Structure 1
Amino acid sequence: MARVLVLAGDAAEELDSMYPVFRLREGGHEAVVAAPTSRAIKLVVHDFEPEWDAYTEKPGHTLPVDLAFADVDPEGFDGLVIPGGRAPEYIRTDPDVARIVRHFFERGLPVGTICHGPQVPAALGLLKGRTTAAFPPLKVDMELAGATFVDAPDVVDGAMVSCRGWPDLPEWSRAFMDVLEKSQVPA
């Protein structure tokens, strides 16, 4: 069983957050949610409506939080997931998030990013030379961060698995679970 840290915050996208938590638990793994504080976070629902040029955002459910970022010891985790929504936009500036995310990238541990989630490693300079998916309007941001952008539902680059957003979660989850489970096999 792997312990996987999920980094989120208020305005994280509901499906991007809850789907991986439940999928990890369904797979027999432990999903631990971390946020700026230990209070439950308020999720949002993003949808694509025909009369809008951009997605819409509505209030979603709350998600219980297990740890504040400052209390996370990344040594105790086997993988990391960064859901999308607006949360990555502001959690990427948190020094504890930087400490945590660098730990996983430096050790080649499984990292899953969904939708806007790649904004976090991009801001830390961790996507240089990597291949990633992201919400398609972030293509330029990913390229400016030094990444090759791929518009696909399950982009695997070593131990990093990324996707465009919640419609890709079935494909992303299969790919991430495969990377996570292969990382658990003793060498």
Structure 2
Amino acid sequence: MDTLFALDRQLGNIVRTTEQPIVGQMRLTWWYEALEKLDHAPPPAQPLLRALAGLISEGRVAGRDLATMTEGWEVLLDRERTAADTLTQFAHLRGATLFRAATALLGEDDPQVAQAGALWAFADLAANVSQEAIRDQATAAALDLADTVFGARWRGARPIGALALDAYMAAAGRGFANGPRRAARTVRFRMIGR
């Protein structure tokens, strides 16, 4: 799990530290190609790719699937694209892909996993973007997904669902990070799936 989220942080850092979109696109393309190659070639001498290659060699995730996350991050490099459908594309390519890979590592699945990943990506974007319009759109999108994600009882993948629940509570302004209210709600979810 740490390795998957390290990949997400690596891709996010590319977007965060890029001043010229073309440079960011080139860096993300390098990661896309490197991740795809992990399915059929040994990894280069890059620590994160070596760690991911271990997961891929176990057959738990595929490099081509992880490469999809780069496409999600690339959406944010286009400063002109702030429409809700663009943010939805980002959330699904980044968050849904990440959460599906995480549930594969757990050997579990749940029908809400992809939507939970999108909710998490929206909430994470809202918490970390400086542009107010994008922050407002991402927050609204996260809150809109809550009924879909948490409307039915989770049978499996509860640790992954708990990540989405915490992100939802942050976006909704419910409790403080690491506070008793959010901790109690997360424990309840992990125990009963609601």
Q: Which has the higher helix share?
A: 2
Larger RCO (CA within 8 A; separation ≥ 6): 1
Q: Which has the higher strand share?
A: 1
